[in-house]
Structure 1
Amino acid sequence: MRLGAAVLLAGVLSLSACSAGSLGSSDDAAGGKTQITFLTNNDPANVKVAEAVIAAFEAKNADVDVKLDTRPQGSEGDNLVKTRLSTGDMADVFEYNSGSLLQAIAPSANLTPVTGEAWAGDLDDTFKKVVSSGAEVYGSPWQTISGGGILYNKPLYAKLGLQPPKTWADFMTNNSRIKAAGTAPVAQTYSETWTSQILVLADFHNVSAADPGFADKYTNNQAKYATTPAALAGFQHLEELKKAGYWNDDYASAKYNEGLAAVADGTAAHYPMITFAVTAIETAAPGKTNDVGFFALPGTDASKNGVTLWEPSGLYIPKSTTGDKLTAAKKFQAFLATPDGCAAEASATSLGGPFAVKTCKLPDDVATAVKDLSVYVDAGAASPALEFLSPIKGPALEQITVEVGSGIRPAADGAKLYDEDVKKQAQQLGLQGW
């Protein structure tokens, strides 16, 4: 399971294909307008954003009527998208995965390229990579970027005179000082096992910095976690932090919202997490959202310090959309890559990260952790998470990371076990070389 799917079950993020509603798009004009259908996932929060975007778009494009259509989340919605593309019955514009899973719908065969559109030049460079195939760009962004790393308590850092670390050694030094001051250095919440993966998954920027070709070699069965030092490091971080006694005492039973509350109120100094979680802090710890900052998971080289990104899904136009509908669909797709489109999204949801459009600015009242993340993105110090570059993510990772983080299994053994888990999935996908 992709991390996005696990998080979706936790009710806080939707990263993968989704949703189910009426089939097909209308060929009828509505009062002289061109009517198009927009297909997106049926998560209630997502639908709220879609409704706000449609309203804002129609206010500026009186000649277009956009009909909202939804599809189920998870594999059911994924299969629906593939079926409708194969039968030529896809909506005029639709939301779907970016990254490796986009390749599963054969973009060059099924989608309308937008490489030459003026707005494509405004896309964040990292996002542009994950909505591209070959030399062509196919999508505009749907909602915002999230970053994986460390949420930290800013008042505690100020009290102890600490600075956000840029190397793992400095991070461990900070943890030592925090423990000596009587506070749990790092919150873990293994009652919800998906949260145990972050120290491994969010370390991918460091893996990529050390071995830029790792994602391709990994996909082609030419590189392993257990035998690639930079990739093994994520498992070693879990082992090292556990052995040092840096977890919260109730790490085995604590839940996600308790981890957020702990880092927000200073009960714990750090919580490895993805920034979409920022939107849930106000519920977990009212009034404490801006006491939480963010820094990228530190690696070994401060000069290469950067963040692992979970990119938004994309908005795409199928090749079955033609004529006036194609013109209208292109306007709608382009709207999501403008400041007005970004503002419409922000009006309907709390932001867990920066926009994937260079011309869009974050609101002044955005959470502190999101501002911290945007500094990395603006500087280009970022890499997509591995799941956006490779279709392979073994389903047992969260159980393995719980074992390593609990001291049940050594890091080296955990990495080897995960390599076996990955092999099973690659064979199920029918990938060559496995």
Structure 2
Amino acid sequence: MRKPTSHRTRALVALATAAVVATGCSAGSLGSSGGNGEGVTLSFLTGNGPEDIAIAEGLAKAFMADNAGVTVQVEQRPQGTEGDNLVKTRLATGDMADVFVYNSGSLLQALNPAQTLVPVTDQPWTKDLDKTFVDAVSGNGQVFGTPVGTVQAGAVMYNKSVYAQLGLKVPQTWDEFMANNAVIAERTDAAPVIQTYRETWTSQLFVLGDFRNVLQSEPSFPEQYTAGRVKYATSAAALRGFQHQQAVHDAGYMNEDFASATYNDGLRMLAEGTGVHYPILTSAIGELVASHADAVDNIGVFALPGPDAATNGLTVWTPNAAYTPQTTQGPVRDAALRFLAFIASPAGCQAMTEAATPTGPYVVQGCDLPADVPPAVQDIQGYLSRGAASPALEFLSPVKGPNLENLTVEVGSGIRSAEDAAALYDQDVAQQAQQLGLEGW
């Protein structure tokens, strides 16, 4: 993130209205457990990304320092579809960690939280959470999670030095974006657009990050989509994300090794300027700080361009959340709930800030961003401050198919057309909607 315009940024994003809510209240403090947690060991499962691990270890260390007798052991899991399947399997077999980090939003609903997770609705700290985050970790009238990390965007991270060298301006429409790509391809040896399909989850941003533009064209899309009355293959606005990904491939604008390149390869290309645009989640800012600190001031962020400059804006994600499974019982559950409370406190936010550079606003009252956040964060904050941001579809609808990342790899690889992929994704979504028991499917 970037240096804020004021000494302290205290912006909490109210995603439902795409506005930033200034807060000055403090969350309730968490006292030491004393002998209450004597001899308790908590297992804490998180993703295997470097930033995920750093945050989890930072939270565990800070919590243990204030809770004598409680040991928090950090475990790792894969990301993407493999990680999703592992979480579902461990919940189904009763082998889930005492606290685990997973998505908020629609993917949470696929875990059947009312049957598998411990509700935290009656915990006093939930009142200090941003409402849209609360909605994203709720089901059947119950709240289940506490936020881990910050708001992030699905956007285009870009190399500002190449832009300055070529005299390019940040695009606000798709035509402007493709025109910039053409200039980069003609005048440099850099790849105009970085794609990293070795890690399939990174392939989804052309579709998922475009939802702000979909919502501006079809404001009722989330409700119609949830009811099964509108589909990706039949909505011109929703289909555009698939078509844009195909257009980039067909124009030859991607790095030659897109099929084998990893996420870390993509960040390296972006930092070095051997790739110029990387559509990705802006949590990548933290990875850049850790691995390419000398390039951080040279990286900017802009929203995925759509058809209309006047309505262009960011698609934003609420943070992941930490949950406790119902299989965790007795004193261990008590300790797990205290750990969730710590995560949702200013002390927890401070532990996360010290462990990894924040990549967006926190969603807990009283949690401030430091003054020295990277510049790309200021780009994100600019969209939020002027109301040019909307939640991703998964926070407005419980429906999200698990195979999107495989389909977007096929589109981006020239294996499948945008139209075919959208139709197959509609079938994938239908299965999940039926599992959720939604009407109209």
1:309 aligns with 2:347: no
> Are 2:44 and 1:40 aligned?
yes
Q: CA deviation at 1:264?
A: 1.7
Counterpart residue number, 2:13:
none
CA–CA distance in 2 between the matches of 1:120 and 1:128?
8
Indicate the larger mover: 268-277 or 214-223. Answer: 214-223
1:390 paired residue number: 398
Q: Deviations over 1:254-299 (max 9, x none)?
A: 4433322222222222111112223333676562232211112122
2:172 alignment partner in structure 1: 166
CA contact (8 A) 1:82 1:105 kept: no
Across the aligned residues of Structure 1 and Structure 2, the Cα RMSD in angstroms comes to: 3.9
In 1, the alpha carbon distance for the partners of 2:121 and 2:143 equals 6
Q: Cα offset for 1:153?
A: 0.5
The change in CA–CA distance for 1:97 and 1:246 in structure 2 (over 3 A counts) is closer
Matched residues in 2 for 1:325 and 1:248: separation? 49
Distance 1:191 1:108, change over 3 A: closer
**Residue 289 of structure 1 corresponds to which residue in structure 2?**
296
Q: Which residue matches 1:208?
A: 215
Q: Does 1:66 align with 2:70?
A: yes
Q: When the two structures are superposed, what TM-score results if normalisation uses the length of structure 1?
A: 0.75
Going from structure 1 to structure 2, the CA distance change for 1:78 and 1:370 (only over 3 Å counts) comes to farther
Alignment of 1:409-420 (within 5 A): 409-420=416-427
Instruction: Give the letter for the 2:35 counterpart.
Output: G
Moved more, 204-213 or 40-49: 40-49
Distance 1:49 1:400, change over 3 A: closer
Aligned equivalents of 2:281, 2:41: Cα separation in 1:
32
2: distance between equivalents of 1:142 and 1:333?
A: 10
CA shift for structure 1 position 227: 0.5
* Whole-angstrom CA distance in 2 between matches of 1:196 and 1:265: 21
Corresponding residue number in structure 2 for 1:18: none
Query: Are 1:153 and 1:291, in contact at CA under 8 Å, matched by a contact in 2?
Result: yes
Aligned residue-pair number:
398
Whose RCO is larger (CA < 8 A, sep 6+)? 2
Q: State whether residues 105 and 136 of structure 2, in contact with CA within 8 Å, keep that contact through their aligned partners in structure 1.
A: yes
Does the CA-based 8 Å contact 1:90-1:320 persist in structure 2?
A: no
Please list every run of 5 or more consecutive structure 2 residues that lacks an aligned counterpart in the other structure.
1-31, 78-82
**1:259 partnered with 2:266:** yes
Moved more, 253-262 or 201-210: 253-262
Helix, strand or coil at the partner of 1:418: helix
Q: How far does the alpha carbon of each residue in 1:28-79 deviate from its partner, in whole angstroms, 9 at most, with x for none?
A: x98633456655315565565344324434555x6x6534256774334434
SS of match in other structure, 1:149:
strand
TM-score normalised by the chain length of structure 2: 0.74
Pairing partner for 2:225 from 206, 215, 218: 218
Moved more, 100-109 or 319-328: 319-328
Secondary structure of the residue that 1:171 maps to in structure 2?
A: helix
Q: Which residue of 2 aligns with 1:248?
A: 255
1:12 — aligned with what? none
Aligned counterparts, 1:345-384, within 5 A: 345-379=352-386, 381-384=388-391
SS at match of 1:363: coil
What's the counterpart of residue 49 of structure 1?
Answer: 55
* SS of 1:420 mapped into structure 2: helix
Deviates more, 1:341-350 or 1:297-306: 297-306
Equivalent AA in structure 1 for residue 179 of structure 2: T
Partner in structure 1 of residue 107 of structure 2: 101
Q: Secondary structure at the match of 2:294?
A: coil
Post-superposition offset of 1:402: 3.4
Over 3 Å counting, the alpha-carbon distance change for 1:72 and 1:345 in structure 2 is: closer
124, 135, 140: which one aligns with 2:130: 124
Rounded Cα–Cα distance in structure 2 between residues aligned with 1:30 and 1:144: 27
Q: Quick one: distance in 1 between partners of 2:261 and 2:56? A: 34
Q: Tell me, yes or no, if the aligned pair for 1:167 and 1:305 is still in contact at 8 Å.
A: yes
Per mean C-alpha deviation after superposition, the further-off stretch among 35-44 and 171-180 is: 35-44
For structure 1, the 5+ residue unaligned runs are 1-28
Mapped partners of 1:336, 1:69: distance in 2:
15
Q: Which 10-residue stretch deviates more, 270-279 or 74-83?
A: 74-83
Alpha carbons 1:39, 1:95 under 8 Å: kept: no
